[in-house]
């Protein structure tokens, strides 16, 4: 089986002198096309840093990241944006929804860069919100939604382009057990049916057991 994403000897250093933090130290990692990997570790251990590096959002201090054989941090910005938009769906820990767009418009946004007609974009976004049990909130703005509702909008936005790599940073952090279960069922279904690779950060022990492999970050290493 071919690797979708590969980290080769990756180190990330933040800050200088007494503010120096090294959340990732000489990390090697590879993710195959059909894998569903959960990532755990204490708060501040480097989980967000790790998934950002994997998803083309954070250039490591040293080391290499390959995505479908392309060297992610050596290609130019246009090519990197193209790869991210086409192939990677990212659910941010802090959602990153756009405040002046409705739930539907937020979800439809990644399709805008693909020259898909507006009515088709909005219809797809509505269907995606429906799968998250959020169709009744489609025309609400983020400020009019609860934390868990914003989280589900962020997930819908990440999934709308049918990405081959889905990265989700604590996607169930604000959800009650039942809603969290619904969301995890959606991830499992996508993993099984679409053969998308999933990298999912969680603090939650039952969520960590859902995937096909679980890794833990400790003192800058994957264990
Ligand atoms: N931009 C930055 N500049 C300096 N230090 C940073 C920066 N971003 C993160 N850090 C530090 O790096 C470490 C790892 O941060 P990271 O966000 O990856 O942790 P995490 O495992 O995702 O934590 P949490 O579970 O709380 O989300 C933390 O100690 C954090 O303080
Ligand atoms: Mg984090």
Question: Residue 132: CB partners within 8 Å, gap ≥ 6?
Answer: 152, 153, 155, 156, 182, 183, 186
Q: Are strands 165-169 and 3-14 parallel, antiparallel or unpaired?
A: unpaired
- Asked whether the beta carbons of 142 and 97 are under 8 A apart, the reply is yes
Q: What's the CA-to-centroid distance between 22 and ligand 1, angstroms?
A: 9
Q: Mutation test of ligand 1: which of 44, 204, 207 has the most ligand atoms closer than 8 Å to its C-beta? A: 44
Q: Is the pLDDT of residue 98 over 60?
A: yes
- Counting ligands in written order, the one closest to the CA of 49 is 1
- For the CA of 41, the closest atom of ligand 1 is 21
Burial of 19 (0-12, 13-18, 19+ CB in 10 A): exposed
What separation in angstroms does the CA of 70 have from each of 64, 97, 169? 10, 29, 23
Domains of the chain, by residue range, sit at 35-46+76-222
The yes or no reply on domain 35-46+76-222 and CATH 3.40.50.300 is: yes
What separation in angstroms does the CA of 85 have from each of 55, 102, 160, 207? 11, 20, 11, 27
Would you say the CB of residue 21 lies under 6 angstroms from ligand 1?
A: yes
The pLDDT value recorded for residue 119 is: 96
Q: Is the pLDDT of residue 35 over 90?
A: yes
Q: Global pTM?
A: 0.95
pLDDT in tens, 163-202: 999 999 999 998 999 999 999 999 999 998 887 999 999 9
The pLDDT value recorded for residue 1 is: 54
């Amino acid at each position: 089986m071919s690797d979708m994403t590969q980290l080769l000897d990756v180190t990330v250093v933040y800050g200088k002198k007494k503010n120096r933090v090294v959340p990732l130290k000489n990390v090697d990692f590879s993710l195959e096309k059909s894998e569903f990997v959960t990532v755990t570790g204490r708060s501040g251990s480097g989980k967000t840093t790790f998934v950002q590096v994997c998803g083309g959002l954070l250039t490591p201090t040293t080391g290499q990241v390959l995505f479908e054989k392309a060297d992610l941090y050596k290609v130019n910005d246009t090519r990197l944006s193209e790869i991210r938009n086409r192939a990677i769906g990212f659910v941010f820990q802090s959602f990153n929804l756009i405040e002046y767009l409705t739930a539907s418009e937020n979800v439809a946004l990644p399709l805008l860069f693909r020259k898909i007609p507006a009515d088709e974009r909005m219809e797809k976004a509505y269907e995606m919100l429906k799968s998250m049990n959020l169709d009744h909130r489609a025309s609400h703005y983020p400020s009019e939604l609860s934390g868990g509702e914003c989280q589900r909008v962020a997930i819908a936005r990440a999934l709308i382009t049918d990405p081959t790599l889905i990265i989700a940073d604590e996607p169930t952090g604000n959800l009650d057990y039942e809603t969290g279960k619904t969301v995890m069922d959606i991830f499992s279904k996508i993993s099984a049916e679409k053969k998308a690779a999933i990298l999912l950060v969680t603090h939650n022990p039952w969520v960590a057991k859902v995937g096909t492999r679980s890794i833990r970050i400790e003192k800058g290493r994957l264990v």
